[in-house]
């Protein structure tokens, strides 16, 4: 089976490796199963990759690396920006380190959503200056909704932040999510 690291080190100009054989027939071996992005082993490989070089942009832009800190009496996890030593944060739980990494990647970005009332009094949900929907008056009570929507919209287009977020998700939630996605793909209710 191909190592995951090979996927990240192969140059764009190189041809892809041949697909793995899925014939389990004569050898008695079960057919090869493709990697599952929600398997903990698959997700853990992301934390072992070397970070990309630092860029001079925002302080929180990353890339971030979560690593076990050695020498501490209690197990600790450090959150380190590329090119930095010592860790900017240390945590007792790796899940919180990965959540913080995802959050820092998305922090300090301007809010892209807001509520706006037009002249007729209709409440609109605005995204990047365009109305994307109307809302009942009670929606205005959700004062944090525009910030949460901004974070989620940014998360869906930030692969490193999304990967670190997924690393923080408990295995049982990932399994349940996989069941829901499979049902949705079949057109069933989740």
Q: Residue 168: what pLDDT? A: 92
Contact 172, 180 (CB under 8 A): no
Question: To the nearest whole percent, how much of the chain has pLDDT over 90?
Answer: 21
What are the tens digits of pLDDT across the range 29-62? 556 666 666 666 666 665 555 444 333 345 666 6
- Cα separation of 174 and 165, whole Å? 11
Higher pLDDT among residues 11 and 40, named by residue? 40
What are the tens digits of pLDDT across the range 95-123? 999 999 988 888 878 888 999 999 998 99
| Contacting residues for 133 by C-beta, under 8 A, at least 6 apart | 124, 125
**Statement: residue 143 has pLDDT above 50:** yes
Q: Residue 40: what pLDDT? A: 67
Residues 119-135, mean pLDDT to the nearest whole number: 91
């Amino acid at each position: 089976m191909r190592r995951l690291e090979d996927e990240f080190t192969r140059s764009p100009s190189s041809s892809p490796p041949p697909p793995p054989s899925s014939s389990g027939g004569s050898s008695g071996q079960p057919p090869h199963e493709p990697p599952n992005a929600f398997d903990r082993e698959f997700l853990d490989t992301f934390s072992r990759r070397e970070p990309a070089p630092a860029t001079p942009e925002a302080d929180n832009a990353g890339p971030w690396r979560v690593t076990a800190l050695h020498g501490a009496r209690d197990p600790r996890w450090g959150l380190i920006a590329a090119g930095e030593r010592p860790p900017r944060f240390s945590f007792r739980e790796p899940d919180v380190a990965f959540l913080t990494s995802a959050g820092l990647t998305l922090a300090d970005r301007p809010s892209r959503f807001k509520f706006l009332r037009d002249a007729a009094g209709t409440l609109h949900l605005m995204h990047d200056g365009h109305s994307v929907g109307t809302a009942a008056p009670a929606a205005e009570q959700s004062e944090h909704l525009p910030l949460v929507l901004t974070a989620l919209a940014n998360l869906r287009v930030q692969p490193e932040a999304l990967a670190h977020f997924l690393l923080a998700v408990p295995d049982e939630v990932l399994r349940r999510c996989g069941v829901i996605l499979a049902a949705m793909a079949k057109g069933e209710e989740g």
